[in-house]
């Protein structure tokens, strides 16, 4: 049997999404739990000072506390809204990041393998080659996805081939196994792989003849 191992670059991008979300969520939580509450304490202390002579009193208080002597840019209420926003962004990062992590994990250790008699995947699904009745290849060229339709024990089932998720060259060889006993009418949306080889060979020969003539 030949085996198409998982195509790591496809799944690795989901890991980068997760790590990016994790880093941004950590930044948001730091601001929401530490950075902004500290600013809120300063703003609240400033607002509690009497308005008359507030600036001079603030310089004295800030110096005692070790705070910046400049007037706070935002009110305590505004900073409170900012804190809420940081937590909302952290939640959003979780909503985006956790599914990305699960998607990355779902591809680890998976594979598709086969030979002239059988195609199967790491999930345990098996497709006897002689049970295949049709292959939908409408998304094969653009997205690397093909759906194999086959019958086992009188039931029609589907098996998905995906050469974005698994090694493309090996998946192409497995597709040739799947198509071996099928006619052109049984393959929808694209040429048979064996016909593509013949077309490519013919084009190469025509290019060679053109170059020779020139």
For 109-128, the pLDDT digits (tens) are: 999 999 999 999 999 999 99
CB atoms within 10 A of CB 20: 14
Largest CA distance in the chain: 97
Classify domain 111-213 by CATH number.
Answer: 2.30.29
- pLDDT at residue 214 above 90? no
Q: Strand 132-139 to strand 111-114: parallel, antiparallel, or no bridges (unpaired)?
A: unpaired
Q: What is the pLDDT of residue 81?
A: 96
For 28-72, the pLDDT digits (tens) are: 999 999 999 999 999 999 999 998 889 899 999 999 999 999 999
Helix (H, G, I), strand (E, B) or coil at 186: helix
Structure tokens at 188: 């929808």
Alpha carbon distance 115, 9 (integer Å)? 26
Span 72-82, average pLDDT: 94
191 — pLDDT class (breaks 50, 70, 90): confident
Q: How does the average pLDDT of the chain come out, rounded?
A: 92
Query: Which residue spans within 31-131 are E strands per DSSP?
Result: 111-114, 118-121, 126-128
- pLDDT at residue 211 above 80? no
pLDDT above 70 coverage of the chain, percent: 95
Span 6-16, average pLDDT: 94
């Amino acid at each position: 049997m030949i085996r198409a191992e998982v195509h790591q670059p496809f799944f690795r991008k989901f890991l980068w999404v997760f790590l990016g979300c994790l880093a941004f969520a950590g930044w948001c939580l730091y601001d929401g739990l530490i950075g902004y509450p500290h600013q809120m304490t300063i703003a609240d202390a400033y607002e509690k000072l009497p308005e008359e002579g507030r600036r001079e009193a603030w310089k004295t208080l800030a110096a005692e506390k070790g705070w910046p002597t400049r007037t706070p840019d935002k009110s305590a209420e505004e900073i409170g809204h900012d804190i809420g926003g940081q937590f909302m962004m952290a939640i959003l990062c979780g909503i985006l990041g956790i599914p990305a992590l699960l998607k990355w994990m779902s591809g680890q250790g998976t594979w598709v393998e086969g030979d002239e008699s059988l195609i199967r995947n790491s999930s345990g699904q098996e497709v006897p080659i002689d049970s295949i009745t049709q292959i939908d290849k409408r998304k094969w060229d653009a997205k690397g996805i093909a759906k194999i339709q086959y019958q086992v024990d009188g039931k029609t089932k589907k098996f998905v081939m995906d050469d974005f998720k698994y090694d493309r060259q090996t998946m192409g060889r497995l597709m040739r196994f799947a198509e071996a006993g099928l006619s052109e009418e049984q393959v929808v949306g694209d040429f048979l792989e064996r016909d593509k080889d013949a077309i490519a060979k013919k084009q190469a020969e025509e290019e060679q003849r053109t170059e020779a003539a020139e």
